[in-house]
Structure 1
Amino acid sequence: MVDLRHSREVDPDRPPDPDFDTFYAAHFSSLTIQLYAYTGDLPTAQDVVQEAFCRALAQWKRTSRMDDPLAWVRRVAWNLATSQWRRARTAALFVRKHRMEHVPAPGPDRVALTAALATLPAQHRRVVVLHYLADQSVRDIADQVGVPEGTVKAWLHRGRTALAARLAEEEK
């Protein structure tokens, strides 16, 4: 990711610049301004420039012998800013895809229906849900459950009758 082709040329005969502090003081502000213009966020710009200078200091003996140590620090800072931007974009996309949806609480009718469905035998509840909520035909339900269509019709009838009785009790 770091393209340092033009600034990596280290001249072994060139003595290292012993004064990192002077180098830092001379270029920190101008690099921060450049990165601020790129990122639009001053604290982020300061952080990436500071990190780039820290990396230069960690290998100052080698970095100071480069043809253009400032170009190396600038490239590192720009790459760090780009990486932060990519991570932030990926995080934002993740949050957008995985944010919780706030749905209203179920109304009293839905609560009553759910409670009434829970009282039905499992086979009756299954065919009622598949027919009325999943909008499946009697034939499709029979194929899915593995019973004759007449059995599905009987379970639907018994389920509707039991639900009507339960829901009528709830209204009283």
Structure 2
Amino acid sequence: MPGGPVSFDDLYAAHYADLTVQLFAYFGDRQEAQDLVQEAFCRALARWRTVSGYDDPVAWIRRVAWNLAVSRWRRGRTALGFLRRQRVAEPQVAGPGPERVALVAALGTLPPAHRRAMVLRYLADLTIAEIAEQEGVAEGTVKSWLHRARSALAAQLGPGQPDPAETTAQEVRRA
């Protein structure tokens, strides 16, 4: 600069508005332009010993601000492309029916071993032998758990209700 080195404060006061107008004309958003120019000046301040020695420190700050503007524009374009590839709306799924709510509540009252046996038998379609092996018990124990669980569910769900084992499998598979 002619006349000796300029101070950062003087440079900021003299050129902030001009740079903001230039970026506003490019970006079309005054807030974005102000943010970008502020960021460019912050970067210049962090390197002021080096930047102040340049023939034209304002050119360096302008270049940084423009680079920031282009980077921000590219990030926005990438984000917009990503959003366009997303589903417009999440599919609506009907909530659980009253039978399902009652069944889940009834299953929750069973002892854990009985509940596991029911889930493994009717949802995972495991055989009694496979359940016995997985649980580390005899097959007769698994049969007993299943019988007690079905009886408890039938009592809780009341007369006239469908078979608890069949309802369990159908309701959970629909979910």
TM-score, normalised to structure 2, is 0.60
Equivalent-residue separation in structure 1 for 2:65 and 2:138 (angstroms)? 72
Q: Which residue of 2 aligns with 1:116?
A: 106
| Larger deviation, residues 43-52 vs 101-110 | 101-110
Q: Which residue of 1 aligns with 2:21?
A: 29
Q: Which residue of 2 aligns with 1:47?
A: 35
Q: Percent of aligned positions with the same letter in both sequences?
A: 54
Q: Which residue, out of 97, 120, 124, partners 1:134?
A: 124
CA contact (8 A) 2:37 2:65 kept: yes
Distance of aligned partners of 1:45 and 1:23 in 2 relative to their CA distance in 1, 3 Å threshold: closer
Amino acid at match of 1:108: P
Equivalent-residue separation in structure 2 for 1:141 and 1:71 (angstroms)? 75
Distance of aligned partners of 1:166 and 1:130 in 2 relative to their CA distance in 1, 3 Å threshold: same
How many residue pairs get matched?
148
Distance of aligned partners of 1:145 and 1:78 in 2 relative to their CA distance in 1, 3 Å threshold: farther
Q: Which residue of 2 aligns with 1:156?
A: 146
CA contact (8 A) 1:118 1:125 kept: yes
**Cα distance per residue 1:86-135 (max 9 Å; x no partner):** 5995xx99xx9xxxx99765331122112222333332221002222333
| Runs of at least 5 residues in structure 2 that lack an aligned partner in the other structure | 162-175
Q: Which residue of 1 aligns with 2:57?
A: 69
Equivalent-residue separation in structure 1 for 2:61 and 2:159 (angstroms)? 78
Equivalent-residue separation in structure 2 for 1:142 and 1:41 (angstroms)? 68
| Runs of at least 5 residues in structure 1 that lack an aligned partner in the other structure | 1-10
1:16 aligns with 2:5: yes
